[in-house]
Amino acid sequence: MRIFLTGASSPLGELVVPRLAATHDVVALARSSRAAELAERRGARVVLGSIEEPSSWGDDARQADAVVHLAGMRFAEAVAAHVGDLQPLTVIGSASARNPAHPLSSALRLTEEALRVRKPRALVVLRPTMIYGATGDKTMRLLARAIARVPAVPRFIGGGRVQPVFADDVADAIFATVGHTGRLEADLGGPAAVRLGELVFELARLLDRRVIPIPVPVLALTRLSAIASRIQTSRGLHALDMLRHDRAVTTPDGGVVEHTPIPLRDGLTIAVGRYRAAGTL
């Protein structure tokens, strides 16, 4: 099967592209030479171009047997506009669309609805929560890196409930649904929701760092990050700010894959090993 794919150079693409390329012909859209190099290294053939310029990739998408869009819900409708009605499209969105408390929820829901109108058939929408376990993932890796650089960490209290999902489980869900000709929507989360304090405790244990009994309210910390982000934006500040919002789902994995999502402790053990091996910790 020929698969046209966006987001091949993303952290999730690190796991998805080799998995798909092992049994399928993967053609990946890349907007830079660096992205193209990563996509090729992961096993894909490359088309240079930008999602905003469909003239560079539209024919490749239409000629594919299936399309996988890893580059975010923001561009999903643009991709859907250049595939056929019966051409299978798998889109990776965000579980925040299902959480009314999240500040991006309304915009994401509207974008999803526009996507459904544009692509009423042969559409799969998968909504992962906080994805971790790829060597370049954001929130979890940045949190682990911060903990690794200090001798001890405080006890964080409060904050939103997050439900980290192991990147391999998300890759499995994509592999299981690529080419699906019906309509399918599913939230993807780990087995249980946790708060920041529990994440810090597990990471501190894996990184041999001590947790000291000094309580630090997550809400106060995120307010400071919000102030700091007005002065200088960064992925780290954004990742910290996201920890005050609930990102849990009520139906983890949606029955998309047959196996149970990997438990957080086991997934973090693998993830920390990957971060260390890749030098991204």
- Residue 243 domain-assigned (yes or no): no
User: What does the pLDDT read at residue 236?
Assistant: 54
Instruction: Report the number of distinct structural domains present in the chain.
Output: 1
- Residue 30 domain-assigned (yes or no): yes
DSSP, res 194: B
Where is 92: in which H helix or E strand? strand 89-92
Contact 58, 83 (CB under 8 A): no
- Residue 149 domain-assigned (yes or no): no
- Residue 7 domain-assigned (yes or no): yes
- Dist. CA 126–CA 254, nearest whole Å: 9
pLDDT per position in the chain (281 positions), as tens?
999 999 999 999 999 999 999 999 999 999 999 999 999 999 999 999 999 899 989 999 999 999 999 988 888 988 999 898 899 999 998 887 777 767 778 888 888 899 999 999 999 999 998 899 999 898 899 889 989 999 999 888 888 888 999 999 999 999 999 999 999 999 999 988 999 889 989 999 999 999 998 888 877 766 665 555 555 555 555 566 666 677 777 655 556 777 788 999 999 999 999 999 999 88
Return the CATH number at 73.
Answer: 3.40.50.720
Is 126 strand, coil or helix? Answer: strand
* pTM, to two decimals: 0.89
Can you give the residue range of the structural domain that contains 69?
2-133+165-190+248-258
DSSP, res 281: -
- Residue 71 domain-assigned (yes or no): yes
- Residue 214 domain-assigned (yes or no): no
- Residue 63 domain-assigned (yes or no): yes
CB neighbours of residue 118 within 10 Å: 17
Tell me the sheet residues that pair with 91: 69, 125
Contact 13, 46 (CB under 8 A): no
- Residue 218 domain-assigned (yes or no): no
| Closest by Cα among 81, 75, 83 to 3 | 83
